Amino acid sequence: MTPDTKNKLPNHIAIIMDGNKRWAKLNGLESKSGYRQGAEAAREIVNSCVRRGINYLTLFAFSSENWMRPAKEVQSLMALFLTVLKRIEIAQLNKNNVRLRFIGNRSEFPIKLLAMMAEVEELTRQNTGTTVIVAADYGGRWDLSNASRLIAKKVKNGDLELSEIDINLVHSFTSLGNYPDPDLCLRTGGEHRISNFLLWQFAYTELYFTDCYWPDFDDAQLQIALDDYASRQRRYGGHEGEEGAKVAGRKNRQEMVS
């Protein structure tokens, strides 16, 4: 890590972990082997972020659209999710002061998985180190529609006035309402899109795409992405630096109110 990279580390990294099936096919293996190796890659990247002192890491583990896949494949993904929770060394992460959180629609998840998620969240609740957020059965459009529904309910019940609805309030009702927006989004696998991931939160996020399939994405690949991020000048809609972000935020709030 160069001094420049160290001084410009993102506060929050989001990752779209793509390319598991294609990696398996390339290596003459079944799809489940690709997902299994992808789980190992996730473990390594979590540890890499912890070592670097990254405050927040959000992993896109299971999208809303995954439910449209064949039932057998969905079942395999769910089984993998359980396996990942067991294999990312929860006890060790807890010892390293890592806090684990889950976002997304949990209504379709098996009871066993829900219980394990709740157990992990409770175990790490008081930790103050890196927060690892796992997006499971998550979609950006679902997130926005869910936030809209919650806000509408408060307005209907008389707990909220229409004049009180602004960017900050909407943000507070989204899945990442208690966390800062990602500074950097990484997508592996060669695709150049965000695939319905964190649509609200990516307003000023830097995007980084790599052809590397997720199972091959390691600490060295992460460093390449961080070096690229450090070389960029963030302008937030034309303004530079943190002050620019504040200006852009005020401008957006004013536009919404008017």
Mean of all residue pLDDT scores within the chain: 85
Catalytic, 66? Answer yes
User: 11, 55, 66, 94: which is the annotated catalytic residue?
Assistant: 66
pLDDT at site 160: 96
Q: Is the pLDDT of residue 17 over 60?
A: yes
pLDDT tens digits along 125-150: 999 999 999 998 899 999 999 999 99
241 vs 195: which has the higher pLDDT: 195
Residues annotated as binding site for substrate?
19-23, 63-65, 67, 69, 187, 193-195
Residues annotated as binding site?
18-23, 63-65, 67, 69, 187, 193-195, 206
The alpha-helical segments, DSSP class H, found in the chain are 3-7, 20-26, 31-52, 71-87, 90-95, 111-123, 140-156, 167-172, 219-230, 241-257
pTM of the model: 0.85
User: 18, 137, 143, 183: which is the annotated catalytic residue?
Assistant: 18
What are the φ/ψ torsions at residue 185 (nearest 5 degrees)? Answer: -115, 125
What's the topology of domain 3-257? Answer: Undecaprenyl pyrophosphate synthetase (3.40.1180)
